[in-house]
Each structure stands twice: as structure tokens, then as C-alpha cells.
Amino acid sequence: MESIIDFIHNRVNTHCMEQQVNARLGPDAWVNVAYEAFERGGVNAVRVDPLAKQLGITRGSFYWHFKDRRALLLAVIEKWATLATDDTIRANEAEGGPPSERLLRLLRTCASDDGRLEMSIRAWANEDAEASHRVEAIDERRIGYMTKLSVACGIAEDDAYMRSRVGYLAWLGSYTGAVPTPIDQRMADIECLWRMMLT
């Protein structure tokens, strides 16, 4: 039979081990596995228990880093904003070239994505006001960058904004078709969109 001293000793050791695991597996680890789950199956795939099992830690460890599941989902949106917007813009600018070339490269980069995560994020944002607000801000950031490139191509600013907005919505709309569009057709469509935006 376990003595009270052994019981306390074991509890202390378990607590210390959990602290070490939590120090090693910070909030980024949770966000990364949640992001992957969101990519695979949308918001319903992001569940604390399966994620904890995947990380090899207890469910209780989750609450060291996040108030609740919704806080984790909002963190997933922030990661998506960084990868799919900020990093994309930085990479596009780093490659350089004339503004028309940068705009076409940006559109091709967008068209190369299958849109699954993009649509899953937006489906959840339709049910959550804060998520919707964040997605709207990301949309404006993207449209703003497209507008900047269009203005640099000689399009008047007001016109550039409207063309960029319509072009952006057309790109998003391409993901909502009943039949998935093959990648070669998406690329042909995006080049047509690019020409329409700049003429």
C-alpha cells in the first residue's frame, strides 16, 4: 500500500514533469497541431482531447496556455494570417520585379492553393463575431497590397481598389464551385483576372 509520503512524492514528481512538458510544449505546439487539424477537417476537427493525445500530454496541460477552445481557434486564425498573408507578401516582395509581375506572381501563388483551409476558416468566422472581424481585417490587408501594386502599375487609386476588391472576391469565389477546378484551369483563370485588373 502506498504511504502518504510516497503519494505526495509521486504527486510532486508528476506535477514537476507536467511543468517541464508544458515549458517544452508551449502554446505554439498547440497552435501548430490545431492548425494542421483545421487544414484536414475544419473547425470540428480541432478538439482538445485528440490534440493532447497527439502531443502526448494531458488535457489539463491545454489550460496552461489557453482559456478555452475558442482562444485556440482564434490563435489558429492568427497563424493563418501570418502564413497566408504576411509571409506571402514578404516573399513576393523579396522576389522583386516590376509591380505587374509581382501582382501576377501573387495571384498565381493564391491560385496554387486548394482553398480548403481558406474556406474552413471563413465558415467558422461566419459563426463567431471576433473571428469574422479578424478575417475582415486580413481581407483588407490583402486587398490593400493588391491595390498598392495596381497603383504602381498606373491604375488610379480608387479604381485600383475596386478592381483589386473584385479580383480578390473572384479568387475566393473560385473555391466555391460544386466541381473542383483543375490547377491548370485555375492558373489560366488567374492570368485572365490579372489582365482584367490592369487594363
Whole-number CA gyration radius for the chain:
22
Cα–Cα distance for residue pair 111/191, rounded to 1 Å: 10
Supply the pLDDT for residue 13. Answer: 43
Cα–Cα distance for residue pair 28/34, rounded to 1 Å: 10
Same domain, 2 and 85: no
Same domain, 151 and 135: yes
For the chain (199 residues), the mean pLDDT of every run of 10, in chain order, is 46 43 73 95 94 90 91 96 96 97 96 90 93 96 98 97 95 77 87 93
Cα–Cα distance for residue pair 135/150, rounded to 1 Å: 23
| Under 8 Å between Cβ of 49 and 88 | no
| Under 8 Å between Cβ of 116 and 102 | no
Supply the pLDDT for residue 67. Answer: 93
Q: Which of 174, 195, 189, 58 is nearest to 118 (CA)?
A: 174
Cα–Cα distance for residue pair 7/58, rounded to 1 Å: 20
Whichever domain contains 59, its CATH number is 1.10.10
Among 66, 96, 111, identify where a domain stops: 66
Supply the pLDDT for residue 178. Answer: 57
Q: Which of 91, 100, 95, 93 is nearest to 194 (CA)?
A: 100
Same domain, 34 and 58: yes
Supply the pLDDT for residue 24. Answer: 59
Among 17, 45, 66, identify where a domain stops: 66
Mind listing the pLDDT tens digit for each residue in 57-98?
988 889 889 999 999 999 999 999 999 999 999 999 999 999
